[in-house]
Structure 1
Amino acid sequence: MIRVLVVDDDALAVELHTAYVERVDGFVVVGQAGGARAALTALADPDRAIDLVLLDLTMPDGGGLDVVRRLRASGAGVDIIAVTAVRDSETVRAAVSAGVVHYLIKPFTFAAFRERLEAYRAYVDGLARAAGHTTQSEVDALLGALRAAPPRLPKGLAEETLAVVAERVRAAGSPLSSTDVAEAEGVSRVTARRYLEHLAEIGRVHREPRYGAPGRPEIVYAWAR
C-alpha cells in the first residue's frame, strides 16, 4: 500500500484530494497538512512512514518547491506529485529539476488524477520487481511508467481545434456561448458545443447559465482560472 500525505492550504482541496486518493486501489492517505511547515513536520515524524506527497506549490507559509528542496537536501526519498494551479514553464522546469515525479495542474478531473496515481504505482511496482542490475529496456519501462498517456479525445474531436477553442474561451473577457465560439472560429454551433462540453468535462471551463430573452437560459462557458 502506498502511503500518501496530502498538502494544500485550501481545506476543501485537501478533502477532495483525500477522497480521490481513497478511490484509487493501492493508495491510502496517512496524513494531511495545511501548509509548508505542517508538511515538513509530518514528513519528519519518525512514527509515520510516507511514500508519496501530493503537494500544492503556493501556500502562505512557504512555497512547495522550498519543501521539495529541503526534503532532497535532507536525503529524504519520499516522492512528490505537484498538485497546483501554477502553470508557468519556469516553475514546471524547477519542479522537475527538484525531482517532482508528476505535475498535475488544477482544476482536473478524477480521471486525470487517477491516471497519474496509477502511473506512479506502476513505477513503484516495477522498482520492486527489479533486482540488482537492470537492463536498458527495464530502465526504459520504469521511466515510461511515470509518463501517463494523455487521455484520448472523444471520437470526432481534433487536438488542434480543441486548442483553438480553449484559447478563445481563455482569452475572452466574459463567458462565451457555443454560438459565440462558432461565429468566431467559423465552425457549426453543434461542433463548438462538443468542444466546449469536452473542456467542461475535463475541468478546463465552467458552465454557467446566461439569462437574456424570456425562456430557457443560454449555457455559456467561462475559463476555470
Structure 2
Amino acid sequence: MDTQNNIEVLIVEDDLRVAEIQTKFIEQVGGFTTVGIAASYEEAKSYIDIMEPDLVLLDVYFPDMDGMDLLRELKQRKKKIDIIMITATKEFDRVQEAVTIGVFDFIIKPVIFERFKQALVRYRDYYFQLHNLGRQYSSVTQHQVDMLLRKEAGILVAEKTHLPKGIDPLTLEKVLDVLAKADSGLTAELVAVEIGVSRTTGRRYLEYLVSEEKVDADLSYGTVGRPERVYLVKEK
C-alpha cells in the first residue's frame, strides 16, 4: 500500500494500448494506484519483487511466456498478491485452472468498463475487510469469514431494493457483526446501544434476521421481572 492507503496495482500486459486503457479504467475507480506496466515475464517478475503490489492484472498470452506460468509461480512462491486475469482466452481448461489456483476474478477481453469496475470494487471491499480483520483480531468467527467470502447470501451483498422497507443493509451488517462477536445471546437493548440506534429499531432488525433464519431468538429468565428475548447468530 502507498502512503495514501491506495491498493497498488501492477498491470501485466504486452499490448501497450490495452494497458493504457486499463490504467485509465483504474483511475476511474477510487482507492487504487497503478504502480507499473510489465510487458514481459522478466519485467513482471522484477516489478513484483521490487514493488510488491497488492493486485496484479494478468494477461495469458505473451511472446516470451504464458501468463498461467507466472500465476503458478506466484502461488508456489506463496506471494501475498491477488490476481485478476484479464485475457482473450476462452478455453475452459485454462479458466478452470485459474479458478482452482485461486484468482480473484477472471475477465474475458474485450473488457467492458462496468465489468472491470465491478471486479475492482469487489476486490477493494474484500481487501479492506481482510486487513481490518487482521488488525483487530488474532482469530475470527464463522460470521466474519462468511463476510469476507461473501457467503451470507442475500444480506451482506444485498442492495436496498432487495430488502424490506425500513431495513438498511449497512445497519443489518452491523447488527450481525455485534451478534457474531458476542459470547452469548444479546437483548435488543444491548444491540441497539452497540450500533447507536433506538431499542425499537434494534428489535426490528433482529426480528427481521430471525424471520430470515439468520439469527435465533430465545427467552432469558432473570431473577427479577419478566423474561427478556435474547438473540444470537444461528449455528451453521
CA distance in 1, matches of 2:115, 2:68: 22
Q: 1:13 aligns with which of 9, 18, 30?
A: 18
CA distance in 2, matches of 1:82, 1:40: 16
Q: Give the C-alpha shift of residue 143 in structure 1.
A: 1.1
CA distance in 2, matches of 1:108, 1:139: 31
SS in 1 for 2:26: helix
* 1:82-137 per-position Cα deviation (integer Å, ceiling 9, x unaligned): 00011222111111122211101111211110100000011011112212222222
Q: Is the 8 A contact 1:37 1:62 kept in 2?
A: no
SS in 2 for 1:68: helix
Q: 1:136 aligns with which of 142, 152, 163?
A: 142
SS in 1 for 2:150: helix
The alignment covers a number of residue pairs equal to 145
Name stretches of at least 5 consecutive residues in structure 2 with no aligned partner.
1-5, 158-236
Runs of 4+ in 1 over 6 A off after TM superposition: none
Identity of aligned residues (%): 37
CA distance in 1, matches of 2:10, 2:128: 19
* 1:123-180 per-position Cα deviation (integer Å, ceiling 9, x unaligned): 01111221222222221221128x9x8xxxxxxxxxxxxxxxxxxxxxxxxxxxxxxx
**TM-score (normalizing by structure 2):** 0.59
Q: 1:36 aligns with which of 31, 38, 41?
A: 41
CA distance in 1, matches of 2:49, 2:149: 28
SS in 2 for 1:21: helix
CA distance in 2, matches of 1:87, 1:132: 40
Cα RMSD (Å): 1.7
SS in 1 for 2:11: strand
Q: Is the 8 A contact 1:54 1:80 kept in 2?
A: yes
* 1:9-43 per-position Cα deviation (integer Å, ceiling 9, x unaligned): 11111110011111110000001111222111211
Q: 1:106 aligns with which of 87, 109, 112?
A: 109
Q: Give the C-alpha shift of residue 49 in structure 1.
A: 3.2
Matches within 5 A, 1:173-188: none
CA distance in 2, matches of 1:96, 1:62: 20
Q: Is the 8 A contact 1:87 1:105 kept in 2?
A: yes
Q: Counterpart amino acid of 1:52?
A: L
Q: Give the C-alpha shift of residue 50 in structure 1.
A: 0.8
- Structure with the bigger RCO (C-alpha within 8 Å, sep 6+) is 1
Larger Cα-atom Rg: 2
CA distance in 2, matches of 1:116, 1:10: 21
Q: Give the C-alpha shift of residue 59 in structure 1.
A: 0.9
